[in-house]
Structure 1
Amino acid sequence: MSINFLNDTLIIADHKFSSRLMIGTGKYKTTSELKQCIVNSNCDIITVAIRRAQSTTKSIDNNWITDLDWQNKWLLPNTAGCKTAEEAIRVAILGRQFVKKLGQVNNNFVKLEVIPDSKNLLPDPIGTLKAAEYLITQGFDVLPYINADPILAKQLEELGCVTVMPLASPIGSGQGIKNLSNIQIIIDNANVPVVIDAGLGSASDVALAFELGADAVLVNTAIAKALIPEQMATAIKMATQAGRLSYLSGRMPISSNALASSPNTGIIN
């Protein structure tokens, strides 16, 4: 059966996206570098920390974010920097107001992060559940950032979250996928898109995420801290496409024995 890769659409909360690569906006050296990486990545979804966006300007009209083309990109506000559920809820509400001012009136997305651990930056499962439950009642489409915990992922899905976003390894570490077995369980049991987030460090990490069956990835540091970020953005885009196409194609079975490529029949003696 042939699969039309061009029609392979990512759907989150009834919104359709042609790219399965989401891009973060922190850690770039310059705004121009960030903008070029966005172009090179061909991403549809861009995440912005609302606390950072609010603190860099007195008015949204003076923020660099307004320079981006929000007619063709989707803003995913996130609650990075929040240590409690209550704090994350307040920032999420600010984020939705921020998005509306940019003209995306139908955008109720929020990437929910509740991180009290300032050393290892690991998300709080209880705080995340608590905040997600409330935000869903307020009409938010919640994309929760979590540890690679299959039970928590299923609980958040049943609560009404529109994705789950397990970390591959500690945020910003570039260690790649260190929670492979748990992430595979999450993917196998999810009925919402699974977005691998945090710890991806290279194009090969991204390709592996998709070969496992992930629906999307969110990448920031791997691009922003590369020697040549603009080139890495292109590499990550290509890895997204290659990994997804590889998954859709269905890999060959793994054998414990060597299998000859050529048949034994018809051999010339």
Structure 2
Amino acid sequence: MLPPNPTTPPDDTWRIGDTVLHSRFLLGTAGYPSPQALQDAIVASGSQVLTLGLKRTLALPGGGDNGFVQIIRDTARARGAHLLPNTAGCRSAREAVTLAHMARELLGTHWIKLEVVGDEQTLQPDPFELVDAARQLVADGFEVLPYCTDDLVSGQRLVDAGCRVLMPWAAPIGSGLGLLNPWALRTLRARLPGVTLIVDAGLGAPSHAAAALELGFDAVLLNSAVSQSRDPVGMAAAFRDAVAGGRAGFRAGLMATSDVAIATTPVGGQPFVLL
């Protein structure tokens, strides 16, 4: 396994299911300019969890194999990282369940990032199909990490279905808009204190990742902000450091906000002289 990030306190671990992790930065593997750029970005990120979308990866023209899955498997093995296949592109619970079983057979993991999209323009998850698929996959022995919105009630229904991890969006996939509704995310964190929460989708800058960790979220997952940057390796390192900084700030305790100015050096009513 990867050693802890040197900036991470040794006791600051978290879990996906029964697996203990040190890095709070999950990295997607799509859209990199080259396999080497992908591999270098993975190293720079320090990530212990790599995601890949099998539906799009396997749907190659003519049914050929470009070796992408094997590259990811080899890289993960060399880094001691875990693979998190996802059901991106699925539009129904039945389709997602079928693909999840294929992923488990192909990659040998019971982890699945569950995606069931309900709207083509926003790629917003379908909450009804998502819960149906989650319930079935949990019963089938999967550790289900559902990609969901920041709606509290939808999140509660997924937890009721057996999910121990939720992956709410910050903004629509690939938008780079950052945390559009911090209030909803804070509410999720406050109302689901025992659930592992990973902010997924819409993060475009390292500062967005830091903000998510400052809210008390356990981790972030992103892809496009790294893979589509001018320097994927440099950006992966920037997000790694931002995640560490955001987590450190949360642990240290952020100052309370105020609508009015508060003097940092209070002035007493009586003068005094230091002798």
Q: CA RMSD in A?
A: 2.0
SS at 2:186 equivalent: helix
**1:247 maps to 2:250:** yes
Aligned residue in 1 for 2:207: 204
**1:18 maps to 2:14:** no
Q: Distance in 2 between matches of 1:75 and 1:233?
A: 18
Aligned residue in 1 for 2:235: 232
TM norm structure 2: 0.88
Select the residue among 28, 34, 40 that pairs with 2:32.
28
Query: Quick one: structure 1 residues 226 and 95, their matched pair in 2 at CA, closer, same or farther if it must change by over 3 Å?
Result: same
Compute the displacement of 1:264 (Å): 3.4
SS at 1:258 equivalent: coil
Query: Quick one: structure 1 residues 119 and 254, their matched pair in 2 at CA, closer, same or farther if it must change by over 3 Å?
Result: closer
Q: Distance in 2 between matches of 1:225 and 1:197?
A: 17
Select the residue among 140, 156, 162 that pairs with 2:158.
156
**1:221 maps to 2:224:** yes
Q: Distance in 1 between matches of 2:273 and 2:234?
A: 50
Aligned residue in 2 for 1:97: 105
Task: For residues 193-244 of structure 1, give each alpha carbon's deviation from its aligned partner in whole angstroms, at most 9, with x where no partner exists.
Answer: 0110000000100000011111110011111111211111011000100001
Task: For residues 25-75 of structure 1, give each alpha carbon's deviation from its aligned partner in whole angstroms, at most 9, with x where no partner exists.
Answer: 112111111111111000000000012333355497983223313260000
Q: Which moved more, 1:49-58 or 1:237-246?
A: 49-58
1:135 maps to a residue whose letter is L
2:15 maps to a residue whose letter is I
SS at 2:101 equivalent: helix
Q: Distance in 1 between matches of 2:28 and 2:185?
A: 21
SS at 1:196 equivalent: strand
Task: Confirm or deny: 8 A CA contact 1:82 1:116 kept in the other structure.
Answer: no
The gaps in structure 2 that reach 5 residues or longer are 1-7
Q: Distance in 2 between matches of 1:30 and 1:64?
A: 11
The alignment-based identity, stated in percent, is: 36
1:224 maps to a residue whose letter is S
Query: Quick one: structure 1 residues 175 and 230, their matched pair in 2 at CA, closer, same or farther if it must change by over 3 Å?
Result: same
Aligned residue in 1 for 2:71: 64
Q: Distance in 1 between matches of 2:225 and 2:196?
A: 22
Aligned residue in 2 for 1:104: none
Query: Quick one: structure 1 residues 98 and 267, their matched pair in 2 at CA, closer, same or farther if it must change by over 3 Å?
Result: farther
SS at 2:76 equivalent: coil
Q: Distance in 2 between matches of 1:235 and 1:22?
A: 14
Query: Quick one: structure 1 residues 61 and 114, their matched pair in 2 at CA, closer, same or farther if it must change by over 3 Å?
Result: closer
Select the residue among 172, 186, 194 that pairs with 1:184.
186
TM norm structure 1: 0.90
Q: Distance in 2 between matches of 1:11 and 1:221?
A: 25
Query: Quick one: structure 1 residues 62 and 251, their matched pair in 2 at CA, closer, same or farther if it must change by over 3 Å?
Result: closer
The gaps in structure 1 that reach 5 residues or longer are 101-106
Q: Distance in 2 between matches of 1:62 and 1:246?
A: 37
Q: Distance in 1 between matches of 2:69 and 2:183?
A: 45
Query: Quick one: structure 1 residues 35 and 267, their matched pair in 2 at CA, closer, same or farther if it must change by over 3 Å?
Result: farther
Task: Confirm or deny: 8 A CA contact 1:168 1:177 kept in the other structure.
Answer: yes
1:211 maps to a residue whose letter is E
Aligned residue in 2 for 1:126: 128
1:204 maps to a residue whose letter is S
Q: Distance in 2 between matches of 1:179 and 1:252?
A: 20
Aligned residue in 1 for 2:81: 73
Task: For residues 131-169 of structure 1, give each alpha carbon's deviation from its aligned partner in whole angstroms, at most 9, with x where no partner exists.
Answer: 001001100000000111100101111211121111100
Compute the displacement of 1:252 (Å): 1.6
